[in-house]
Amino acid sequence: MATAYYEFYRGSSIGMALTDSLDELITSGAITPQLAMKVLQQFDKSLADTLVKLVKNKTTLKGHLHTYRLCDDVWTFIVKDPSFKMESNETVTAQKIKIIACKNGEAIYFFAIASAFCYLITLGVI
């Protein structure tokens, strides 16, 4: 059975660069739209699998929960004044972040988005 992967990594800088490049290749006739979709699906899978395997850092998140929502097995949280404390005791702050938590097979992923700060946290490493 094929595993479905979420497409939110396509909104990252590398995902948008890939999408732009694929659009140019389609426009020039170098590839078909079907091939571009296969490339994007492989990107979704490869990025998700690689992050799960390689990201082992732990962090502590503190902040004020502003909003939360559950829709289609995807949790969305808005946290104001978050503070991330890393294993190295470095602290990263932002005004506001959006956390998307979704189940993908056996693992639950958190994708935190903040202005000038993106951080992926796997539930097993918090």
pLDDT of residue 4: 61
- Of 89, 98, 102, which is closest to residue 60 (Cα–Cα)? 89
Low-confidence winner among 6-10, 31-35, 44-48, 85-89 (lowest mean pLDDT):
6-10
Label residue 111 by pLDDT band (50, 70, 90): low
pLDDT of 23 higher than 90: yes
What CATH number has the domain spanning 8-54?
Answer: 1.10.287.190
Label residue 104 by pLDDT band (50, 70, 90): low
What does each C-alpha distance from 72 to 12, 31, 51, 84, 108 come to in angstroms?
22, 34, 23, 28, 14
Give backbone dihedrals phi and psi of 67, rounded to 5 degrees, phi first: -145, 145
| Residue spans per domain, the chain | 8-54, 59-125
What percentage of residues in the chain have a pLDDT greater than 70? Answer: 77
Please give the CATH architecture assigned to the domain spanning 59-125: Roll (2.30)
pLDDT of residue 25: 97
How far apart (Å, rounded) are the C-alpha atoms in residues 117 and 97?
Answer: 9
pLDDT of residue 7: 80
